[in-house]
Amino acid sequence: MSEPTAKTRKRQRWLIGVVAVVVVALAAYWYLNRSGAPGTSGPMGRGGPGAMGALTVPVRTAMIESGAIRLVLPAVGTVTALNTVTVRSRVDGELQHIYFTDGQKVKAGDLLAQIDPRPFQVQLDQALGQQAQNLAQLRNAQNDLKRYEQLFKQNSIARQQLDAQRALVQQYQGVQVSDKAAVDSARLQLGFTRITAPISGRLGLRLVDQGNLVSSGGTEGLVVITQTQPIAVVFSLPQTQLPQVLDRFNKGDKLMVELYDSTDTRKLSQGVLASIDNQIDVATGTVKLKAQFPNEDESLFPNQFVNVRLVVSTNDQAVVVPTQAVQQGSIGTFVYKVGADNTVKVQRIVTGTTEGRRVAVLDGLQAGDQVVTEGVDRLRDGSKVQIVKE
């Protein structure tokens, strides 16, 4: 039994030795790769000789250009109708006719519905009849007054009788004013039986069907009109960004606002900043802003969520670098700058405005420099590179 036990122990020692060699090899490989990062204290970080010193690293590069870059403040906004009106009846009666269809576009003054006008026509006729009756009495009193004035000149009647007739004429004149107001009121009520669009816009779904009795006190209304051309978008910005927006807005500058879809890839519309709220929301530390858009193609719909980009300023002569070329390390912000002999140098930079996948460089680079955009994970200061063409 002692011989198999010795063989088993020998095999176990051999396996342990193999595992130890593998672990040491992996640790050495990890240390060499790690020491190549900029700002580290390893031999490759100091530019000294290392296992990867003689390797040529394939990379992709980009040429630094001078061009325009914008200061853009992103936000999420909600599309809102510029005006919204719930159309209601101003008189009580039966809804005789509906002259619109759901979703129809209308102009201000277009006929939408008709309330039964007959009761109101009767009221108008009554007012007109009363007015005519009182007008006849007025004319008769005026004629009597003329006769009384002649008789008074002839000393045929007393002044008291003349004054009484003058007062009667004035009384009938006052009645005529009241009659005219009654006629105008009746005519106005009759006009309210024709329900017209107060604004131009797009109609929603019909809320009341033909044949129903409607009331001037009803809150639901007949239909809702939303003005969508032009249309507005409401969005919020942090209060820390407000001063730079107010500085230009208060000068009267038109700040451009761009809208993108929910994926933030397709541009929907372009408009201008219209107004800024008069207070900051203390709960969120943000301020609301409203932009206006022509919406000629009606790509914007009320209550739609959109991505907003407020363009505050534009620098036409900025030094622009792709954001993927910018790296962060213990030395700060840097890029790998490619030299004429295809060696790279760790170049510290100072960045400014970022727009999409581009960032402005304030110091450290100039137009015409070449920087690495892909393959930076295997580079160190002084590495040889092979530029891969598209």
pLDDT digits (tens, 9 = 90+) for 192-234: 999 999 999 999 999 999 999 999 888 889 999 999 999 999 9
Is the pTM higher than 0.75? no
pLDDT at 41 over 70: no
The whole-number pLDDT of residue 342 equals 87
**pLDDT category, 320, cuts 50, 70, 90?**
confident
pLDDT at 367 over 90: no
Taking Cα atoms as reference points, which of 312, 317, 330, 314 lies closest to residue 362? Answer: 317
CB-based contact 111:93 (threshold 8 Å): no
pLDDT at 128 over 60: yes
The whole-number pLDDT of residue 44 equals 38
Distance in angstroms (rounded) separating the CA atoms of residues 206 and 102: 6
For helices 159-191 and 118-153, angle between their N-to-C axes, nearest 10 degrees? 160
Segment 292-302 mean pLDDT: 92
Q: Phi and psi for 167 in degrees, rounded to 5?
A: -65, -35
Let me know the angle formed at the C-alpha of 313 by 241 and 315, rounded to the nearest 5 degrees: 130
Distance in angstroms (rounded) separating the CA atoms of residues 61 and 321: 11
**pLDDT category, 236, cuts 50, 70, 90?**
very high
Average pLDDT over the chain, rounded to whole? 86
pLDDT at 19 over 90: no
CB-based contact 101:334 (threshold 8 Å): no
Segment 248-260 mean pLDDT: 92
Distance in angstroms (rounded) separating the CA atoms of residues 361 and 55: 30
CB-based contact 28:21 (threshold 8 Å): no
Segment 305-309 mean pLDDT: 95
**pLDDT category, 7, cuts 50, 70, 90?**
low
CB-side neighbour CA atoms (13 Å) of 78:
5
Give strand pairing partners of 98. Answer: 113
Specify the DSSP class assigned to residue 281: B
Of 26-40, 174-188, 305-319, give the range with the top mean pLDDT: 174-188
CB-based contact 337:331 (threshold 8 Å): no
The whole-number pLDDT of residue 157 equals 87
Structure-token pair, residue 313: 């300023």
3-state secondary structure string across 25-49: HHHHHHHHHHCCCCCCCCCCCCCCC
The whole-number pLDDT of residue 386 equals 85
- Per cent of the chain over pLDDT 70 is 89
CA-based torsion, 352, 354, 357, 360: positive or negative: negative
pLDDT at 46 over 60: no
Segment 290-306 mean pLDDT: 93
pLDDT at 52 over 70: no
The whole-number pLDDT of residue 174 equals 95
Per-residue model confidence as pLDDT tens digits over 57-101: 888 888 888 888 888 899 999 999 999 999 999 999 999 999 999
Give strand pairing partners of 321. Answer: 359
Give strand pairing partners of 85. Answer: 225
Q: Which helix (H) or strand (E) holds 120?
A: helix 118-153
Least confident of 223-232, 291-300, 346-355: 346-355
The whole-number pLDDT of residue 62 equals 87
